Amino acid sequence: MKTSLRIGSAFGIGIFLHWSFLLLVVGIVVFFVVQSGPTADAVTSISVIFGVFACVVLHELGHALAARRFDVPTRSITLYPIGGLARLERIPSDPMKEFWIAVAGPAVNVAIAIMLGSLVYATGRTMNPSVLMDPFMDPISTLAWLNVGLAVFNLLPAFPMDGGRVLRALLALRTDYAQATQTAANIGQGMAILFGLLGVLSFNPILLFIALFVYAGAQRESQQAMFRAFTHGATVRHAMMTRFATLKANDTLDDAVDALLAGSDHDFPVVEPDAEGHPRLTGILRRQTLIRALSTYDATDPVGPIAGEPCFSVGDDEMLEDVFTRMSQEQCSTVPVLKNGDLVGLLTLENVGELVMVASALEQREASDVRKKMAPELQRLRESPASLVKNSDVSENGNDGGTDRPAAPGRRDA
Ligand SMILES: [Zn+2]
C-alpha cells in the first residue's frame, strides 16, 4: 500500500488514493496556468473532478456494501486516475451474488444522477447534455450527466467493467463458470478491438487507451477463471507435496545444509515423533533462516531452537482455493498439511503456482476437461514437484527470495 495514500475510511473500509492520481490534479492546474484561464475555472474543474471521484468512491462502496450483504469483506478501495477499484476478499461462487455485487456500483451512479437531475430540474435549470461542453456553466448538471456516463460505461458487457461480470453471472446460470468467463472474455476482447478500430479511425487516443485496458482486463479475467475452474472443488490433498525432506529437532545445521543441497526443497518441517510414534510438527526451518543462522551459529548446533513457527497449518481436506488465497495474502510460501495432528504433506506457493501455469497452458481446451487431463500431471507433481518445471522453460521465481529452481533436482545455489 506504499504507492497509495490513505485518505479515510467508510464502513470500516480503508480508502486510498493512488499516487498517480496527483498527476491528474497537477495536470489540470498546469493546463489552466498555460492557458492562463481564470482561476475560478481551474477551481471549478478541480471541484468537478473531485465531485466525479466522490461519485466513484460511492460506486465502489456500492460494490463493497453489496458484497458485505453476502459476507464477502472488502479489503480496500483505491482511486486511480481512470477510476476506482474495490478489492474484495473473494468473488462469490454463486453467480447471482456476483450479479448483485456487480450491478450495485452502476446502480449508485444511476441513483446519484436521478438525485442531481431532480435538483437541477427543481431549480429550473437546464438538463441539456450540452452542459458537458462547458462544465463551468452548470457543475451540478455536469455531474449528473457524468454519473449517467459512469453507469453506462461500467455496464458495457466487457471485462474488466462491471458489465462483464453481469454478463458472466447471467451466462453462468446456464453454463459452467469457466465457459461463461471465456465467452464473456471473448465478447470483451471483441469490444476492445472495436474500440481500438474506432480510436484509430477517429484519432482518439482515449479510445485506444480504453481498448488496451479492456483487452488486458479480459485476458486477465479469463486466466483467473481458468485457475478457479481448475482449483474449484479441489482440496489441499490434490495439490500438496507428499515427498519432502524433514529434519529432527536435534539434527545439526550441517544436516540442514546437506538436505538443502541434496534436493529442491526450500523449507524443512522439523518433526518429532510423539509417544505413539506419530510425526508431530514442531517448527519450520526456512531457507533464509538457515542461511542467516550459518553466520551466527556453529555448524554442529541443533536446528530445533533455530526453526520458526509456520504462518499457519491446514487440514488436507480444506479447499485449495481458500488456502491459496490466504497464502498469497499472508505471503506465506510454505504451509504444513496436517491430518489428525500428523504431518502428511507440504503445500507451497510454488507448486500451486505450477498447477496454475499448467492450467493456463491448457487454456485452449475445454475447461471442465482440464482437471481430468491434469490427473496424471497432478500425480507426478505430488511425487516430484520439480518434474513439471524440468520439462518446460519456465524459470519462475520462488516467492521466498527469488532464486530459480534448478533444471534438475540436485545441487542448488545457497
Ligand atoms: Zn464498478
Query: DSSP letter string over 108-158?
Result: HHHHHHHHHHHHHHHTT----GGGGG-TTT-HHHHHHHHHHHHHHHHTSSS
Ligand 1 centroid – CA 321 distance (Å): 24
At residue 1, does pLDDT exceed 70?
no
CB-based contact 107:13 (threshold 8 Å): no
Q: What is the pLDDT of residues 214-246, one digit of tens each?
A: 888 778 777 776 677 667 677 888 788 888 888
- Domains, in order of start, for the chain: 4-155 (no CATH), 236-390 (3.10.580.10)
Of the candidates 249, 255, 355, 353, the one whose C-alpha atom is nearest the C-alpha of residue 298 is: 255
Asked whether the bond before 160 is cis by omega within 30 degrees of 0, the reply is yes
At residue 378, does pLDDT exceed 60?
no
CB-based contact 25:33 (threshold 8 Å): no
> Can you tell me the mean pLDDT for 256-268?
85
Helix, strand, coil: what percent of the chain each, to 5? 55, 15, 30
Ligand 1 centroid – CA 182 distance (Å): 20
At residue 367, does pLDDT exceed 80?
no
Q: How far apart are CA 77 and CA 108, in angstroms?
A: 16
At residue 149, does pLDDT exceed 80?
yes
Cell (9 digits) for 148: 449517467
CB-based contact 232:324 (threshold 8 Å): no
Burial label, 393 (beta-carbon count in 10 A; 0-12, 13-18, 19+): exposed
Q: How far apart are CA 314 and CA 334, in angstroms?
A: 11
CB-based contact 79:15 (threshold 8 Å): yes
Ligand 1 centroid – CA 134 distance (Å): 27
How would residue 10 be classed by pLDDT, with cut points 50, 70 and 90? confident
Q: Is 39 helix (H, G, I), strand (E, B) or coil?
A: helix
Ligand 1 centroid – CA 60 distance (Å): 6
Of the candidates 84, 75, 94, the one whose C-alpha atom is nearest the C-alpha of residue 325 is: 75
Ligand 1 centroid – CA 229 distance (Å): 23
Cell (9 digits) for 271: 518433526
Buried b (16+ CB within 10 A) or exposed e, 109-130: bbebbeebbeebeeeeeeeeee
Q: How far apart are CA 88 and CA 231, in angstroms?
A: 19
The percentage of residues in the chain with a pLDDT greater than 90, rounded to a whole number, is: 7
Cell (9 digits) for 371: 482437471
> Can you tell me the mean pLDDT for 347-357?
75
CB-based contact 280:272 (threshold 8 Å): yes
The amino acid present at 327, given as its one-letter code, is: M
Ligand 1 centroid – CA 239 distance (Å): 34
Q: How far apart are CA 251 and CA 143, in angstroms?
A: 69
Cell (9 digits) for 183: 465467452
Is 263 or 132 the better-scoring residue by pLDDT? 263
Average pLDDT of the residues of the chain: 76
Cell (9 digits) for 127: 438538463
Of the candidates 308, 310, 297, 307, the one whose C-alpha atom is nearest the C-alpha of residue 254 is: 297
pTM of this structure: 0.59
Q: What is the pLDDT of residues 24-46, one digit of tens each?
A: 777 766 766 666 556 666 677 77
Ligand 1 centroid – CA 38 distance (Å): 35
Q: What is the pLDDT of residues 90-116, one digit of tens each?
A: 777 788 888 999 999 999 999 999 999
> Can you tell me the mean pLDDT for 64-70?
90
CB-based contact 330:233 (threshold 8 Å): no
- Predicted local distance difference test score (pLDDT) of residue 115: 92
Ligand 1 centroid – CA 392 distance (Å): 38
Ligand 1 centroid – CA 17 distance (Å): 17
